[in-house]
Amino acid sequence: MNSEIKLEQPENKLVLVVDDEETILEFLEYYLKQQGFKVDAAVDGQQALEKIKNNKPDLVILDAMLPKRSGYEIVKILQQEYKDLPIIVITGHFRDMEIQMMFKLEPNVKEVLLKPIQPDFLVSKVHYLLKTKPKEITIVEQKVDEFKKRYQQ
């Protein structure tokens, strides 16, 4: 009996990245695109909900603290309207275990990651959740180094 899992191409999957910090948004968008994912972005909670309604993504990467609507409010709305939509929450509140636990108890939140984001771990989680095939990691590492150099100048 063959129990091999068929992995899809990332080009068939849309990831919505929601963060009000432009640098983080650009970095995550760039990194996911390097892996072949289609990526959309939103800078606040209200824009995220509109984008989800208009073009439902396969996964949402969501900052916990957002203007207009909080990350937690978005999670609650999505649980009612899009129960099967996986969410990865990112937060800078690494000391506030209560906030982390609040998110982790929500069924559609598959992971809570602390800023600064470890991009390799994030991408591996996205691939795992979407059952997609990763690209060569060495190519991505080269692009990340180029990106870091560009932003360190």
CA 92 to the chain's CA centroid: 15
Threshold 0.75, pTM exceeds: yes
- CB-based contact 122:30 (threshold 8 Å): no
Burial class (CB in 10 A: 0-12, 13-18, 19+), 2: exposed
Per-residue pLDDT of the chain (153 residues; tens, 9 = 90+): 445 667 888 999 999 999 999 999 999 999 999 999 999 999 999 999 999 999 999 999 999 989 999 999 999 999 999 989 999 999 886 666 777 788 888 899 999 998 888 888 999 999 999 999 887 654 666 677 788 887 776
Pairing of strands 59-63, 14-18: parallel
Could you state, in order of their start, the residue ranges of all structural domains in the chain? 10-146
Yes or no: domain 10-146 corresponds to CATH 2.60.120.380 = no
